A = this chain, B = another copy of it.
Amino acid sequence: MAELSSASGVPVATIKFYLRERLLPAGERTGPNQARYGEEHLRRLRLIRGLLEVGGLSVATARGVLDAVDSELPLTQSFGVAQRAVSATMDPADIDPQALARIDRLLAGWRVSGDNPGRLAAAYVLQTFDSVGQRDERDWFSRYAAAALLVAEADLDQVEARGSREDMAETVVIGTVLGDALFSGLRRAAQEHVSSLRYPVSPEPGRIPTLE
């Protein structure tokens, strides 16, 4: 266990915590108080850290996601589980039906089920957007939708490139969770790029001030 800890950089106490929380399967026992951990434990541990740190999942949510990876669910359902895990479960009741209708108009032609968590989340964002007095200018929403479609095609391709069902399921989960983080990172970089093209930099480069 100490070995696993030093190989991964995760404190022993934390590994014990993950074992207790059933995120990490127990090691192969070699005696009543000895266990061996292998390469797969290290990989799993890195996956856990990735889900928690990069994906920002809670321990409980990560457990659900990992269970889905380990289970024998058909692939289409893996997507559903992963999506539900990363989206805050929201009551359709407190979403403005009008916002939902706008999302549906935006997604016209898409085959999306009524309880797709992404659709509900998007509607909730629209509603919030309105309530703080913002307006959709120059097709902001629909350009987002178009970009989302591109990304979703890439996601499916990435999953299909894997061989076995388990690999695909793992890729679905990782892609769903890390994909969000990757995209928002790239988006911020792209914002700076586009911004610097449109507003050529002032002579003095100057550091962007940090928060606070």
User: A13 an interface residue at 8 Å Cβ cutoff?
Assistant: no
Nearest to A148 among chain B residues (CB) is B186
A87 to chain B, nearest CB (A): 7
A180 in complex: contacting residue of B107, B143, B187, CB < 8 Å? B187
Q: Are the CB atoms of B80 and A125 closer together than 8 Å?
A: no
A194: B residues at CB distance < 8 A: 149, 152-153, 155-156
- The reply to whether the CB of A50 lies closer than 8 angstroms to some CB of chain B is yes
For residue A151, give the distance in angstroms from its CB to the closest CB of chain B. 5
Residues of B within 8 A of A73 (CB): 209
Once A110-B193, A111-B197, A178-B128 are accepted as A-B contacts, the answer to whether A209 and B80 lie under 8 Å apart by CB is yes
Task: Count residues of chain A with CB under 8 A from any CB of chain B.
Answer: 101
A198 to B153, CA, bound (A): 10
Measured between beta carbons, the chain B residues less than 8 angstroms from A187 are 118, 148, 151-152, 155, 179-180, 183
The majority secondary structure among interface residues of chain A is helix
Residues of B within 8 A of A80 (CB): 208-209
Question: Contacts A128-B46, A128-B50, A171-B134 given: A189-B119 contact, CB under 8 Å?
Answer: yes
Contact A84 B178, CB 8 Å, known A119-B185, A119-B189, A189-B116: no
A195 to chain B, nearest CB (A): 6
A188–B83 Cα gap in the complex (Å)? 7
Query: Does A17 sit within 8 A of B, measured CB to CB?
Result: no
